[in-house]
A = this chain, B = another copy of it.
Amino acid sequence: MNLSALGEFGLIERLARDLPNNPGQVVCGAGDDAAVLQAAGPDQLLFTTDMLVEEVHFSLTWATAEQVGVKALAVNVSDIAAMGGRPAYAVISLGVPERVTVEELDALYRGLRRTAREYGVNLVGGDTVACPDRLVINVALLGLVEPGRAVYRGGARPGDLIYVTGSLGKSAAGLFLCRHPETPVVPEAAAFARLAHLEPCARVQAGRLLAAAGVGAMDDISDGLAGELGEICRASGAGCRVRAGAVPVDPRVRLVAAAAGCDPLDWALYGGEDFELLFTVSPAGAARMEDKMAQAGEAVSLIGEITPAGDGMKIETGGVWRPLPARGYDHFLR
């Protein structure tokens, strides 16, 4: 169905149906000038936003509209996870070109709703406007965290150990397969990588446990491990030493890399969008943190340690230490 058959107000009414709204948290959801939310009690608020632009952050050539909805919310949830908080309330803005159909927007909202339910997020409002040329989605997300428990990027100290959750490079592997679907790789590996790229997961449970364990610094890996290490080192006034062999890469991602003729370490370091958590912990706290994470079924890998700022960022490959450039993805550099 064409959008002009429905009109803006008809569309808003249609999209606002069955939004996840917990009555204990949402006094008034979508439909008024602003949503009204219950008092947050003693919790501090976390506030983040991310804009996704068609053919910059996603492509409807290989992602379904539902997957775009999943991703738009998940990348914001990941920011809340990286602070150690729990996501709570989101508002969604859509800039919609004329060619987009009502069914595509239904699917996009199906993805938003599914992801919201998965993470306990209330969808409480938004804005839907015409945007010729490109579909633009902005999500703003409000989270909650116990007072004083938020984990910042600047909390790393020389001697701290550096860990990551899960495995890296899977999103870059998936993007490669979206762009080169003819790559000869076993279906199970391809499916794993594509799903990691198209429907990323945010590590909320891991972030909550790590914040409670008092980790030093934490960041989500949206721009590649190297870029996020750079953020933590810069914010903390520190350097780091990382062992390439310790960077966790899923065997299925190695299969994709082999078929693609690419280096999976490159994907882990510079690929981005893995949305795992990168964090530091004091040597004294490491064993307890590892135990807690293991009990919760959350995989973590020790990949290196924080050094004084003067030492810069270094990576060891095959026994050789070399400088690790901290470049992440930059929207404006060419």
Q: Is the CB of B32 within 8 A of A36?
A: no
Q: How far is the CB of A334 from chain B (nearest CB, A)?
A: 6
Give chain B residues whose Cβ lies under 8 Å from the Cβ of A235.
31-32
A142 adjacent to chain B (CB < 8 Å): yes
Q: How far is the CA of A86 from the CA of B157 in the complex (A)?
A: 40
Give chain B residues whose Cβ lies under 8 Å from the Cβ of A37.
44-47
Instruction: Give A222's nearest chain B residue, CB to CB.
Output: B33
Q: How far is the CA of A89 from the CA of B330 in the complex (A)?
A: 27
User: Which of B7, B40, B43, B126 is close to A49, meaning CB atoms less than 8 Å apart?
Assistant: B126
A258 adjacent to chain B (CB < 8 Å): no
A133 adjacent to chain B (CB < 8 Å): yes
A263 adjacent to chain B (CB < 8 Å): no
Give chain B residues whose Cβ lies under 8 Å from the Cβ of A40.
39-40, 45
Q: Is the CB of B131 within 8 A of A83?
A: no
Q: Is the CB of B83 within 8 A of A36?
A: yes
Give chain B residues whose Cβ lies under 8 Å from the Cβ of A57.
129
Q: Is the CB of A80 within 8 A of B132?
A: no
Q: How far is the CA of A79 from the CA of B35 in the complex (A)?
A: 10
Interface residue tally for chain A (C-beta within 8 Å): 80
User: Which of B32, B36, B47, B82 is close to A89, meaning CB atoms less than 8 Å apart?
Assistant: B47
Q: How far is the CB of A179 from chain B (nearest CB, A)?
A: 18
Q: Is the CB of A95 within 8 A of B51?
A: yes
Q: How far is the CB of A210 from chain B (nearest CB, A)?
A: 13
CB within 8 Å for A142 and B11 given contacts A79-B34, A131-B56, A131-B136: no
Q: Is the CB of B41 within 8 A of A45?
A: no
Per-residue 0/1 for A42-64: is the Cβ within 8 Å of any B Cβ (1 yes, 0 no)? Answer: 11111111111101110000000
Query: 18 A-B Cβ contacts within 8 A?
Result: A9-B328, A32-B154, A33-B80, A34-B82, A34-B143, A36-B83, A37-B44, A37-B46, A38-B44, A38-B45, A47-B140, A48-B125, A49-B125, A50-B93, A50-B127, A51-B129, A53-B131, A138-B138
Given contacts A27-B44, A33-B219, 16 further A-B pairs with CB under 8 A are: A4-B333, A8-B331, A28-B150, A35-B46, A36-B83, A40-B45, A47-B89, A47-B91, A49-B91, A51-B93, A51-B95, A52-B129, A56-B131, A128-B331, A132-B134, A142-B142
